[in-house]
Chains A and B, each alone.
Chain A
């Protein structure tokens, strides 16, 4: 049973992170998006700077818009991105 989640980054965030996807292991399950991100930021100075500078980031869990208080489970697909600008 994998404890991994896949994270995608889009648009300006993808460029700032310097990567479009990565697999990370979930230190506990279940845990909130916010808790996962706080942990990742402590280990990754690039991510810490980028996320600190992007207060309006959105998150999707399994391709559905979610909040940072929602719960992440092993196998989930997460995505972070700036506010959307379609149309």
Chain B
């Protein structure tokens, strides 16, 4: 059994360096045959959204993300796993979340990434508040589709 590095879990205000994170995943463990990455960003549109503010529960967030990463490592036999989630106020187009996995073959990395982002959206204590150009502030409502996506991995 090849040694897998510990999952890398970060909650931070700063922008992450996607290139550096991908290099870290691809070089982290011998036997890595591929990496898979999902990056989520603040979606712009015609409705005048200016920015999102991400709030979280310090302490619980790190715990939930670390447990989630560990379960993905085991379930998909991953050789590497990185979860980075930003908090604070982020403008339209700004990266919010980085999910990256490494595995021997593509299927595990791709499935692991999908699992992680689906579970993270409804299981980690983050909340989004939207700010619009006209001054409105709106807390984002949870979507049933996100609960279904998370439950599809049960």
Contacts and interface: CB of A to CB of B under 8 A. Distances in A.
Interface residues on B, range: 20 to 34
Contacts of B59: 63
Given A11-B127, A82-B139, A85-B127, A63 B57 contact: yes
15 contacts: A10-B127, A11-B55, A11-B127, A11-B139, A60-B60, A63-B63, A65-B64, A79-B57, A81-B125, A82-B127, A83-B122, A84-B142, A85-B142, A86-B125, A87-B85
B124 interface: yes
A68 B139 CA distance: 24
Contacts of B110: none
Interface of B is mostly: mixed
B142 A81 contact: no
B140 interface: yes
Contacts of A79: 57, 60, 125
B57 A87 contact: no
A56 interface: yes
Interface residues on A, range: 10 to 19
Contact of B120 (A10, A81, A82, A87): A87
A28 interface: no
B42 to A, nearest CB: 11
A85 B141 contact: yes
A86 to B, nearest CB: 3
A84 B60 contact: no
B126 interface: yes
Given A12-B139, A81-B57, A85-B142, 17 more contacts: A8-B57, A10-B57, A11-B127, A12-B129, A63-B60, A65-B64, A79-B125, A83-B141, A84-B124, A84-B142, A85-B128, A85-B139, A86-B54, A86-B126, A87-B96, A87-B97, A87-B126
